[in-house]
Amino acid sequence: MNDKKAGLNIDALIFALPDVLIDVSGSYREVVRQTVQIYLEQAVGLEPSSESLLTPDEVVLLEKVGGFTNYPDLAAAFIIYFIEALPSVPVPTFPSKFHIPAVLAYLQLAGGRLQLSIDKLREQKDIAHLAQIVVAAGGGLDGAHAALPKENRHLLVDFGEITRANLLGRIFQELYLGAELFNEIYEQPPIIVEGAGHIAHEALLIDVDILAQIAAALPLGIVTSTARSQAEISLKTHHIEPYFQVLIALDDIEAAKAKPVPAPWPLLEAARRLSPTPTRSAYVGANPGDLQAAKAANQTVSFTAVGCLAGAHDKQALRQEFENLKADVILGHPNNLKELILG
């Protein structure tokens, strides 16, 4: 191993996308906030409010403490939490033709008599407690399903194809991509969004010159729980696509019938596809689930778990989470990789 790589003692580096390469505070997290509110107001039929149900800090809190690495899953967990705070809603007859307009009609029929307001939910919420019980149940959407009582779950339609039935996914993607990109990717006009998407509010987090220097020293890869088309748009927009040999996206995970991060498969597959095949890789992530994935991958082949604090509002709390998971390295910012790798 030459001196340039001695800081981390690795021969490959794999990145998570959000909060390591890309600042998503104005894109994915804002989309989570709006998706939850639109779903409850326009689909479930709660009385709307001029104020947001969730604050940006609450979105980050559940994401970081609750162990989420997928933003639609994060939105789904919030919706489960809020619909279970509603009075019990009878299950009407499910639509025989399962498509977005029918799903909307079904939900509006189910929740139309509640006469409950978003303001009431805002008064009752306790997101810090939600994050604690979700992580205690294993974290992520599975943890939310396990931790919360099974009440009103029929009000959440988050399965199937976005173009046909998955209403939560449809709202999320329209908000993120905007009308023009959504139509281009899914070949359908949007039903919620008319203007530009929040993808336009993303910013490059890592310095491109530092990334170029690291790419000259090591083969680089990316693991993401988002669709390949979305990840590629972000990479191309910020002109960093050429620096990466490999992108493991949600499409690859689903095609392999594997599980996303915090499962280790995406990391192991990214390393397997790099050339030359590495023997000592590092994975840089921004959430506890990322470190869990690196630790799990390390049971198969050498993986260094690197946590990045750049996207956290409460950096000390996230640092403590990383320390609890026995992170090998904790970075204040992805630019600190230069010193570790290049000296």
How does pLDDT run along the chain (343 residues), one tens digit per residue? 333 334 688 999 999 999 999 999 999 999 999 999 999 998 898 988 999 999 999 999 999 989 898 999 999 999 999 999 998 888 776 665 667 777 877 787 776 667 788 999 999 999 999 999 999 999 999 999 999 998 899 899 998 889 888 999 999 999 999 999 999 999 999 988 889 999 999 999 999 999 999 999 999 999 999 999 999 999 999 999 999 999 999 999 999 999 999 999 999 999 999 999 999 999 999 999 999 999 999 999 999 999 999 988 889 999 999 999 999 999 999 999 999 998 8
Which pair of tokens denotes residue 211?
Answer: 């990334």
pLDDT of residue 3: 34
Alpha carbon distances (Å) from 31 to 19, 36, 160, 250, 302: 15, 8, 20, 18, 36
Determine contact, residues 201/183, Cβ cutoff 8 Å.
Answer: no
pLDDT of residue 40: 94
Number of helices (H), then strands (E), in the chain? 15, 8
- Give 169's Cβ-side CA count (13 Å radius): 16
Q: How far apart are the first and last CA of the chain?
A: 13
pLDDT of residue 216: 97
Apex CA 244: angle with CA 240 and CA 247, to 5°?
A: 110
Alpha carbon distance 60, 71 (integer Å): 11
Domains in the chain (CATH in brackets) are 3-23+203-342 (3.40.50.1000), 28-200 (no CATH)
Determine contact, residues 102/95, Cβ cutoff 8 Å.
Answer: yes
Determine contact, residues 107/175, Cβ cutoff 8 Å.
Answer: no
pLDDT of residue 1: 30
Alpha carbon distances (Å) from 322 to 144, 316, 326: 21, 10, 6
Determine contact, residues 65/325, Cβ cutoff 8 Å.
Answer: no
pLDDT of residue 158: 92
For the entire predicted model, the pTM comes to 0.88
